[in-house]
Structure 1
Amino acid sequence: MTLVQQKTFDYFWKFAHPVSGLAPERTITPDTVTIGGSGFGVMAILVGIERKFITREEGLDRLLKIVNFLLKADHYHGIWPHWMHGATGKTVPFSRRDDGGDIVESAFMWQGLLCVRQYFDREAPKERELRDKIGWMWSETEWNWYTQGGQDVLYWHWSPNQGWAMNHQVRGYNECLIAYVLAASSPTYPISPKAYHQGWAVNTHFYNGKDYYGIKLPLGFPYGGPLFFAHYSFLGLDPRGLKDQYADYWEQNRNHTLINRQYCIDNPKKFKGYGPECWGLTASDNHEFYNAHSPTNDLGVITPTAALSSFPYTPEYSMQAMRHFYDKLGDRLWGEYGFYDAFNETTNWFDYQYLAIDQGPIVVMIENYRSGLLWRLFMSCPEVKTGLKRLGFSSPAL
């Protein structure tokens, strides 16, 4: 576990952009950094300090570099773009119309930065500076702007060039829960709880309630969708005992993981390699390009982050997968920054790249399984406690 954490952490430490300290989107785009993946990366840096991969001082210096860069980087009512130039902080359009703020990617960054603020709690001048700068940016992030004039739903994108042209409402159930939690937690620009109940929780694939392989799935797509739904919002948001009127989120995430694994064991399409030790369908590279793999969109591609980031939910099964990936697939799957992004044994395709947004959750969720570090930090934020209560959540952390 420590070896996998350390090698994967190196993506965010050794491969980070030299100017900004942020994480490149993937290994072949060293100059384009990603806000969401870098949010996972700042959490990985805290793991690196705790596991003694780096010193507290080294981690502090890197995080100050990142925060100082983010203070000056392009933002749109306080919300960063999906991608930016690692040296200048200028927006790199994600698509022709997506050239402004991305509230979901920014939520992944804020999940990490609030953990950083809680971690560096000493009175040393540099630690106070880091906390203060995170606090200033946090208070200036206009979450409610992204309700497009006070509607009861969040919108994913806004840009000064395109306005609301993307017109993409953030509705559940998927990876975006954290955006609503943070938007309700803002001390200065919060959304109304109605946005959560009438925006997020109202959708054709919000409720599920069906059984798959005898396992009940409270929310989401048939079979649960790609496994990153159980990871991205829950790197900081602690699902243990987390409940609202819609679901018990520990049950949701554990059962989603078990269904995904059971589908791979069942292997209805008879892909090579699938089984009890080789499972995990989620969004990743594949033999064609990139896709959001799931039981209803199965192309024969196993993605290591799917099983490894599920350690808190299925520790024995995740360990079986980790051993299989390392012992049986070896150098075809293991490289400088840990496990490569994905593989397809049916087509004999093994990726040679790493993606920030897939590597980060491996480091963080293994740590949450081992020590609960990021869960403890995020849930200790007074604003997060307030936001969760406003939305009607209960949790042992509240």
Structure 2
Amino acid sequence: TVSSIAAVGFALSGMCIAHANGFLKQSDAQSRVLKTLDFLARRMPQEHGFFYHFVDMHTAERAFKSEISSIDTALLLLGVLHARAYFDSKPVRQLATEIYERVDWKWMLNGGATLDHGFKPETGFLKSRWDSYSELKGMYLLAIGSPTHPIPASSWEAWTRPIYEYGDLRYISAPAPLFIHQSAHAWIDFRRKRDSHADYFENSRIATLVHKRFCISLQDKYPWYSDELWGITASDSERGYVVWGGPPPMGPIDGSIVPCATGGSLVFLPDDCKLVLKTILNRYPKAWTRYGFVDAFNPKTGWYDPEILGIDQGIMLLMAENLRNEGVWRVFMRNEEIVRAMKAVGFKEASL
């Protein structure tokens, strides 16, 4: 069975949420976390502390000839640090700290000012860099806040922040799916804070609103797109995995609905997103499974994705917990490394 290391980061946070809400006893949740951390620390192949994007969950071997991934390692680490902050346990603290502190972020700079996308032992560093706005914020704060292998705070200024406009709305974005505005916010509390460029929480709120309006603008082609049913982001489709979204249109879009587009945006537009999720539950009961919402479905063709994607379930779980009681934010922000990094790059309280 192949596992995404990013999904494991969400799963570690899931153990914290499960215990906090009475679904697991502390001993059970902590045992699962400890076994996972020990596997990561002792058995998983790694390069300068970074992990392969996909691995066999039983043998720890690299899968699909995947890359050593900087962003997916970062998403894993966010879950690792959440678990460290949540469980008052010396073994959890020691293993989580070991996993985080052995990551050599300076190596991943590969001689530049921005982090590389990754590395393959056969060919070396990948050609792409994390040099423009995307899901990168959490990764850069982990790297800048590292007590052992930090990169300079100036790297925060090295990535660009393109300005997009949609009607009367103006925001920082990229030609990429909606999830780029979600993932870092699942753990890091950016509310009422801003650096010299933006209030990133407010920026994600605007980006979500833009995406809603964009979907509804397609109503002539897909009549089911409405205030009650909208939202697409990278997901499975009838044709396989598709990186779709908009604006600008990416896909090609076929009228599918991806529940984690709104489920992962609950904290940005709570009423709007809850309405969509309730609509899916009421009108499309097949879209709900033992593990939550399907990854995607098409209201016209009646197709429902038979597979479950951990990263998409994960973002919905964490955002729901943050909306309910700020549970992930409140615990995760105890990590001094992240708080220190935010100060280093110039975050201040945003004026109302």
TM-score, normalization by structure 1 = 0.83
- Counterpart in 1 of 2:70? 103
- Counterpart in 2 of 1:134? 96
- Counterpart in 2 of 1:159? 120
Cα distance in 1, alignment partners of residues 71 and 209 from structure 2? 26
- Counterpart in 1 of 2:145? 185
One of 173, 181, 203 as aligned partner of 1:220:
173
- Contact kept, 8 Å, 2:5 with 2:51, in 1: the verdict is yes
Cα distance in 1, alignment partners of residues 224 and 304 from structure 2? 13
Cα distance in 1, alignment partners of residues 220 and 123 from structure 2? 43
Cα distance in 2, alignment partners of residues 394 and 161 from structure 1? 43
- Residue 207 of structure 2 aligns to a residue whose secondary structure is helix
- Contact kept, 8 Å, 1:182 with 1:387, in 2: the verdict is yes
- Counterpart in 2 of 1:24? none
- Residue 380 of structure 1 aligns to a residue whose secondary structure is coil
- Contact kept, 8 Å, 2:105 with 2:149, in 1: the verdict is yes
The yes-or-no answer on 1:77 pairing with 2:34 is: no
- Alpha-carbon offset, residue 106 of structure 1: 0.5
- The verdict on how the C-alpha distance between 1:227 and 1:209 changes in structure 2, with shifts beyond 3 A counting, is closer
- Counterpart in 1 of 2:105? 143
- Range with greater deviation from structure 2 (298-307 or 365-374): 298-307
The yes-or-no answer on 1:252 pairing with 2:203 is: yes
- Counterpart in 2 of 1:366? 320
- Counterpart in 1 of 2:303? 349
Cα distance in 1, alignment partners of residues 180 and 226 from structure 2? 22
Give per-residue Cα distances to partners, 1:18-38, cap 9 Å, x unaligned: xxxxxxxxxxxxx10110011
- Contact kept, 8 Å, 1:277 with 1:320, in 2: the verdict is yes
Cα distance in 1, alignment partners of residues 220 and 348 from structure 2? 41
- Counterpart in 2 of 1:119? 86
- The verdict on how the C-alpha distance between 1:70 and 1:269 changes in structure 2, with shifts beyond 3 A counting, is farther
Cα distance in 2, alignment partners of residues 315 and 63 from structure 1? 30
The yes-or-no answer on 1:169 pairing with 2:140 is: no
Cα distance in 2, alignment partners of residues 329 and 236 from structure 1? 30
- Contact kept, 8 Å, 1:67 with 1:134, in 2: the verdict is yes
- Alpha-carbon offset, residue 221 of structure 1: 2.6
Cα distance in 2, alignment partners of residues 79 and 269 from structure 1? 46
- Residue 124 of structure 2 aligns to a residue whose secondary structure is coil
The runs of 5 or more residues in structure 1 that have no matched partner are 1-30, 122-126
- Alpha-carbon offset, residue 265 of structure 1: 2.0
One of 262, 266, 278 as aligned partner of 1:311:
266
- The verdict on how the C-alpha distance between 1:93 and 1:353 changes in structure 2, with shifts beyond 3 A counting, is closer
- Contact kept, 8 Å, 1:293 with 1:301, in 2: the verdict is no
- The verdict on how the C-alpha distance between 1:221 and 1:137 changes in structure 2, with shifts beyond 3 A counting, is closer
- Contact kept, 8 Å, 1:170 with 1:176, in 2: the verdict is yes
Cα distance in 2, alignment partners of residues 244 and 83 from structure 1? 34
Amino acid at match of 1:112: G
Give per-residue Cα distances to partners, 1:56-102, cap 9 Å, x unaligned: 1110000001001001211110011101111111211355xx3xx21
- Contact kept, 8 Å, 1:32 with 1:84, in 2: the verdict is yes
Amino acid at match of 2:281: Y
Cα distance in 2, alignment partners of residues 91 and 395 from structure 1? 43
Cα distance in 1, alignment partners of residues 232 and 80 from structure 2? 28
- Contact kept, 8 Å, 1:264 with 1:276, in 2: the verdict is no
Amino acid at match of 2:14: A
- Contact kept, 8 Å, 1:343 with 1:349, in 2: the verdict is yes
- Counterpart in 2 of 1:91? 62
- Alpha-carbon offset, residue 254 of structure 1: 0.6
Between Structure 1 and Structure 2, how many residues are aligned?
345
The runs of 5 or more residues in structure 2 that have no matched partner are none
One of 5, 9, 12 as aligned partner of 1:39:
9
TM-score, normalization by structure 2 = 0.94
Cα distance in 2, alignment partners of residues 301 and 275 from structure 1? 13
Q: Percent identity?
A: 29
Cα distance in 2, alignment partners of residues 265 and 94 from structure 1? 39
One of 231, 234, 238 as aligned partner of 2:189:
238
- Contact kept, 8 Å, 2:9 with 2:78, in 1: the verdict is yes
Cα distance in 2, alignment partners of residues 215 and 308 from structure 1? 22
Amino acid at match of 1:220: S
- Alpha-carbon offset, residue 209 of structure 1: 4.7
CA RMSD in angstroms comes to 1.6
One of 359, 372, 378 as aligned partner of 2:332:
378
- Counterpart in 1 of 2:288? 334
- Counterpart in 2 of 1:48? 18
Cα distance in 2, alignment partners of residues 394 and 81 from structure 1? 35
